[in-house]
Structure 1
């Protein structure tokens, strides 16, 4: 197990495009950190810099306390699992697992031991004599993970390893990777655009956008206290509702949303200031049986039943609003639906710079 340290790591291409503006954070030995963000945010570029597949324009990158900026990938003692599996089609599973060790002239007995251990751990012992074309997508992904596993590296790097799998296989492989990490206690850096993967796998999440690190924290802390409008709108499915309004301090402090209003916490905003109020879909509670609190009413436009719950898509004075409700709550499309909101569950953001405003 080894730690990974990034200090003002930056990547600028020859055409002037900034892929990673400045990344500074520490990945502890044995930690699983997920880099998450939309396509083009710089997460894969950052992973490739850790691997040595992309040069570093500026800053320092260290693995196990050693600066590795100028080290070749083979000298960094890392193993990478790619999105497209990258298996040799003419080799059997056993040969794919052993190939890297053969290049390093590992003794035959040691190769056999490591291949056997990895195959047992991943449940692919029956596949060792097959070639990649004879495997399912999930089996190929297990082989790709196994090939990294036999290396026994200092750091595992996984670049969107589940994106080619269907939903059921993704869930199974998420469980597999989490179990594997617990068993090995290895340092892992995992890249994904899928927030569910990020939330369920990561000890900590690094949220990125446009080459900038937006927030680093545990999944639930980020979910409960997003640092800015981007994080609030990105993390969560459905995303946090973001409602634009204006501060009114005449009487009880509130945020005016035209025909509705929400209470204003003790935040440093003057009367008349613009503000964005965030509320999670699950924090909108139908007033039928809801406890007292702030109340708003919106027009129902679409009901999305997904089995164990429903998503209500509503219109609040021209602003979209989504509520997560029990499946038995099914008002008619076009009706006005009233919700209670616990004021303590509201979030406030400055629309000028997008930053969170705390009391």
Structure 2
């Protein structure tokens, strides 16, 4: 096992496009870190630089303390699982699992041991004689995982390995990957655009946008204390509600929105310099709570009941809001309801930079 250290790693393509801007962070020995962000944010490019499939323009990359900038992929002691299964269709599962080891000249007994061990971990024992065409998508992805597993590398790299699976298979395979990491304790770097995968798999998450690292932290720290508006809006489904305006302290603290409506904030205290300042108020849907009186008044537009919870899509003076509630005694579309932000769970951001404001 090994740690992965990136120091000011940068990627610039021949046309001048900067794909990754000075990324600096360390993935600890045995840690599972997820790189997450929207399409084009640089997460796969970053992973491919770790793998040696993309040349590093500048900066230093270390794996296990060894600088690997100019080391060939096969000599980095890494194994990669791609979005496509990339299995050999004419080979059986056992042959696909063993192929890389045989290329490297591993002894037959060692090949059989590793293939048997990987098949046992991934529940492939009864499929070793089948070919990929006879397998489901989830089974093929497990074979792809097993092919990386038999390498017994220092670092696993996984590039959106579940994106070709349906929702049920994504959930079950995601659980298998988490269990696999717990059993092996091997360093894993996992790329995804799916925030649910990121939140449920990652011990830490690296959030990227525009080729820049926006924030690195544990899943719940990112959710509870986003560093900026991008992270606040990207992590969480539905996304965080945001209201732009100025804080007024006349008749109790209120946010006067740019649309001219007012959001009472009883129980919320802010530093004096924040008053009369243009800023952004953020509130998660589950922290926008119904009240009998006071609060803000909004009109219900759509009610989404999804079993254990319900989402109310609201119109507040032309501003869309979402509230997450228990699925009981729900209002109907067209109803007016009153809601109040939980005073302990409000977030404030600078209107210009989008950065989180700390008291």
TM range (shorter): over 0.9
> Any idea what the Cα deviations from partners look like across 1:99-138, whole Å, max 9, x if unmatched?
1101110000000000001001100011111111111000
> Any idea what the Cα deviations from partners look like across 1:198-225, whole Å, max 9, x if unmatched?
0000000000001010000000000000
Question: Out of 260, 263, 279, which is 2:262 matched to?
Answer: 260
For 2:311, the equivalent position in structure 1 comes to 311
Number of residue pairs the alignment of both structures matches: 355
Q: What's the TM-score, normalizing by structure 1?
A: 0.96
Structure 2 unaligned regions, length at least 5: none
- Deviation, 1:271, is 4.1
For 1:338, the equivalent position in structure 2 comes to 338
More divergent stretch after superposition (329-338 vs 113-122): 329-338
1:195 equivalent to 2:195? Answer yes
Contact 2:252 2:264 in 1 (8 A): no
Q: How does 1:47-86 map to 2 (within 5 A)?
A: 47-86=47-86
Distance in 1 separating the partners of 2:331 and 2:136: 44
Q: How does 1:80-95 map to 2 (within 5 A)?
A: 80-95=80-95
Contact 2:35 2:191 in 1 (8 A): yes
- Deviation, 1:253, is 3.8
Distance in 2 separating the partners of 1:285 and 1:201: 29
Q: How does 1:176-215 map to 2 (within 5 A)?
A: 176-215=176-215
Contact 1:309 1:324 in 2 (8 A): yes
Q: 1:299 to 1:132 in 2, by over 3 A?
A: same
Distance in 2 separating the partners of 1:220 and 1:271: 29
Q: Which runs of 4+ in 1 moved over 6 A?
A: none
Distance in 2 separating the partners of 1:268 and 1:21: 36
Distance in 1 separating the partners of 2:58 and 2:87: 33
Distance in 2 separating the partners of 1:251 and 1:327: 34
For 2:276, the equivalent position in structure 1 comes to 272
Contact 1:267 1:357 in 2 (8 A): no
Q: What's the TM-score, normalizing by structure 2?
A: 0.96
For 1:286, the equivalent position in structure 2 comes to 290
Distance in 2 separating the partners of 1:270 and 1:313: 29
Distance in 1 separating the partners of 2:232 and 2:183: 33
Contact 2:264 2:340 in 1 (8 A): no
For 1:173, the equivalent position in structure 2 comes to 173
| Counterpart secondary structure, 1:54 | coil
Contact 1:160 1:190 in 2 (8 A): yes
> Any idea what the Cα deviations from partners look like across 1:174-216, whole Å, max 9, x if unmatched?
1100000000001000000010100000000000001010000
Q: CA RMSD in A?
A: 1.3
For 2:164, the equivalent position in structure 1 comes to 164
Distance in 1 separating the partners of 2:272 and 2:164: 47
- Deviation, 1:95, is 0.7
| Counterpart secondary structure, 1:105 | coil
| Counterpart secondary structure, 2:246 | strand
